[in-house]
Structure 1
Amino acid sequence: MHYQTVFFQTPYEGKPIHSSDLLNTIHHCAISCNHMTTMLYKKQDLFGRGEQLSNLQDCAEICGLMVNYLALSSKFSKVFSSVCASVCEVCGSTCMQFPDQASQQCGQTCLICAKACQQLTA
């Protein structure tokens, strides 16, 4: 899903805080983490991946919330973006510890999302 190119105004500053690229990046991260969670349930070594599974679920949830806050032009978007960046960074780092291609790809997606959210907090 791609969002139409728009700029939202924060109600408290009046400056554009994001574009469709940011929404797409965060949304893609949420979807990737949800997909990876589903894939992990099918793996035989699921019990060795408890931390990864927990981080994936947290990341998917925070990214889903972040997309909603941005779409609403919430005044809390910048505050939430800091939390989102932290969760994505932890999730991405955890995923990168596993050698399978799906974990590597998800980890890269999370780390890209973390950088995008960090830029929003600036």
Structure 2
Amino acid sequence: MAHQQHEELIQALHECMTACNHCYDACLREDNLNMMANCVRLDRECADICSYVEQALTRGTPFVSELTALCATICEACGEECKKHEHDHCQKCAEACFKCAEVCRAA
């Protein structure tokens, strides 16, 4: 029941986590790593919270509103940082973060 109720949210969380992990990995291979430090840091935070919230939802957490509010805040912060960078992986990550934040806020 809990899983079906939050299907769109779980999908958005999973896509965001995947995009953040990809961006994290790609950022580490960029030439100017100093410039990418905040992006790398926020990718990690965002991937972790998305993964945690996805797991919590699939086990029927009673803290849906608290977790999704926190997740939306972190997704937005990551999206804002990623969109500053012209790399394709950063732009795609920002898009996934903003979409996830929107779905989290709707929950």
Q: What is the TM-score when the length of structure 1 is the normalising length?
A: 0.83
Aligned residue among 8, 12, 15 for 1:28: 15
Mapped to 1, the partners of 2:16 and 2:45 lie a distance apart of: 11
Unaligned runs of 5+ in 2: none
Please report the RMSD computed on the Cα atoms of aligned residues, expressed in angstroms.
Answer: 1.4
Q: Which residue of 2 aligns with 1:8?
A: 2
Mapped to 2, the partners of 1:46 and 1:77 lie a distance apart of: 36
Paired residues in the alignment total 107
Q: Which residue of 2 aligns with 1:80?
A: 67
Mapped to 1, the partners of 2:21 and 2:97 lie a distance apart of: 12
Offset of residue 48 of structure 1: 1.0
Query: Deviations for 1:71-113, whole angstroms, at most 9, x for unmatched residues?
Result: 0110012211000000000000110011121111110110000
Mapped to 1, the partners of 2:5 and 2:36 lie a distance apart of: 36
Mapped to 2, the partners of 1:77 and 1:21 lie a distance apart of: 14
Unaligned runs of 5+ in 1: 1-6, 10-15
Offset of residue 17 of structure 1: 4.7
Higher helix share: 2
User: Which stretches of structure 1, 4 residues or longer, exceed 2 Å deviation after superposition?
Assistant: none
Mapped to 2, the partners of 1:63 and 1:117 lie a distance apart of: 10
Q: What amino acid does structure 1 have at the position aligned with 2:2? A: F
Aligned residue among 39, 62, 65 for 2:52: 65
Mapped to 2, the partners of 1:100 and 1:39 lie a distance apart of: 9
Query: Deviations for 1:30-49, whole angstroms, at most 9, x for unmatched residues?
Result: 11101111111111111111
- Is 1:103 the counterpart of 2:93? The answer is no
SS in 1 for 2:2: coil
Q: Which has the higher contact order (CA 8 A, sep 6+)?
A: 2
Aligned residue among 93, 101, 104 for 2:80: 93
Q: Which residue of 2 aligns with 1:13?
A: none
- Percent of residue pairs bearing the same amino acid type: 25
Deviation larger for 98-107 or 58-67: 98-107
Offset of residue 22 of structure 1: 1.5
